């Protein structure tokens, strides 16, 4: 069974499954989902918990012992397995596959497995497929930017508060997709104001500029051709003193990928074959696919030359403002 985080509570009310697997790119949602499962386990009488954090030298045969051993006091047990890198390796994969295939659907104990964001290849791995078929999988990914206001509205509703659309957009714009920052601001609103409708003015007074700027968000905005967001992110990165070589690398790397895919398409390859050759997989694949449809090879080659000029400028060769040039580079990629 595959669930979204907001569906988990309802599923738990119908009874605990023997196996839960959490994975995704949003730490806040993963933490909340794990806390919800552990709370449900305690409410169901599972009083003992064994936490296992895997590492390079972890002995995977210990997992079978942990899952199979009875509690010291005869109590029901929760095995809380965490795989920080999401790569169990051959032995780990075999152990997880064995765990899934030997799972008793009527088991009174519970296993919780926590993973990071998984790439396309890992999702197709035998061990993950086996876990998915045997247990309940909760994918904890951050909502798309366009859906973030609705997510914020849902969180406000939990504390009996509402806000107009422009206020929700204001919060979303200031946290820049960072759910932990949004969560903190929502909690603050709950402490500052009574339940009910909040005004834009109240939210503007309470919400701090807590955006967390990073080059990954900039790369996504670049692929989407979202010039206003690129400008906002570049301003934030500049204000936080981000290293210009890192910013340039992020932008140039995406432009180079787009140029290679576009050139392959112009030479007669299918877009899917070109993306595979450039090793573009997962959610990023759709972003690149949409970007190359709107861009031309000539414009992308010009953008790469522009990136080379910025590199020289960052090294003190020539005149100009590097951050202004970053914005001009983003505008080039936006153009059709």
* Domain locations in the chain as residue ranges: 2-139, 145-206, 215-334
Top CATH class of 215-334 equals: mainly alpha
Phi-psi region of 53 (alpha: psi -120 to 50; beta: other; left: phi over 0): beta
pLDDT at 134: 93
Token readout for 69 is 């051993």
Mean pLDDT of 243-267: 90
The pTM of the whole model exceeds 0.85: no
Domains 2-139 and 145-206 share a fold: no
Q: What's the CATH superfamily of 2-139? A: P-loop containing nucleotide triphosphate hydrolases (3.40.50.300)
In percent, the amount of the chain with pLDDT more than 70 equals 94
Between 336 and 5, name the one with better pLDDT.
5
In the prediction, which pLDDT does 102 show?
87
Q: How far apart are the first and last CA of the chain?
A: 42
14-45 pLDDT tens trace = 999 999 999 998 888 999 999 999 999 999 98
Q: Is the pLDDT of residue 216 over 90?
A: no
What CATH class is the domain 145-206? Answer: mainly alpha
Cα dihedral 52, 54, 57, 62 in deg (nearest 10): 40
Stretch 135-146: mean pLDDT: 90
Q: Are strands 136-139 and 2-3 parallel, antiparallel or unpaired?
A: parallel
* Helices 215-224, 283-294: crossing angle, 10 deg rounding: 40
pLDDT top residue among 90 and 192: 90
Under a CB-based contact definition with an 8 Å cutoff, are residues 74 and 42 in contact? no
Output the pLDDT for position 33.
Answer: 95
């Amino acid at each position: 069974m595959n669930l979204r985080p907001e569906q988990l509570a309802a599923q738990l009310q119908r009874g605990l499954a023997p196996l839960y697997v959490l994975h995704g790119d949003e730490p806040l949602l993963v933490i909340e989902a794990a806390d919800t499962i552990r709370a449900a386990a305690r409410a169901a009488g599972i009083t003992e918990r064994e936490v296992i954090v895997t590492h390079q030298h972890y002995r995977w045969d210990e997992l079978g012992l942990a899952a199979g051993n009875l509690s010291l006091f005869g109590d029901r047990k929760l095995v809380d397995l965490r795989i920080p890198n999401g790569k169990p390796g051959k032995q780990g994969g075999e152990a997880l596959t064995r765990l899934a295939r030997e799972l008793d659907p009527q088991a009174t104990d519970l296993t919780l497995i926590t993973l990071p964001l998984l790439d396309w290849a890992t999702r197709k791995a035998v061990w993950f497929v086996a876990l998915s078929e045997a247990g309940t999988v909760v994918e904890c990914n951050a909502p798309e930017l366009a859906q973030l206001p609705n997510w914020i509205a849902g969180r406000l509703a939990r504390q009996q508060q509402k806000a107009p659309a422009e206020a929700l957009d204001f919060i979303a714009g200031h946290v820049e997709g960072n759910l932990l920052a949004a969560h903190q601001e929502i909690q603050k609103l709950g402490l500052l104001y009574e339940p009910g409708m909040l005004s834009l003015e109240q939210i503007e007074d309470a919400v701090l500029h807590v955006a967390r700027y990073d080059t990954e968000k900039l790369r996504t905005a670049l692929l989407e051709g979202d010039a206003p967001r690129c400008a906002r992110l570049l301003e934030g990165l500049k204000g936080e003193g981000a290293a210009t070589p890192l910013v340039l690398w992020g932008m140039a790397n995406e432009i180079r990928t787009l140029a290679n895919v576009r050139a392959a398409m112009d030479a007669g390859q299918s877009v899917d074959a070109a993306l595979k050759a450039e090793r573009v997989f997962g959610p990023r694949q759709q972003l690149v696919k949409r970007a190359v449809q709107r861009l031309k090879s000539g414009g992308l080659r010009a953008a790469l030359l522009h990136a080379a000029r910025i590199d020289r400028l960052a090294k003190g060769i020539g005149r100009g403002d590097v951050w202004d040039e970053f914005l001009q580079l983003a505008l080039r990629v936006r153009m059709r």
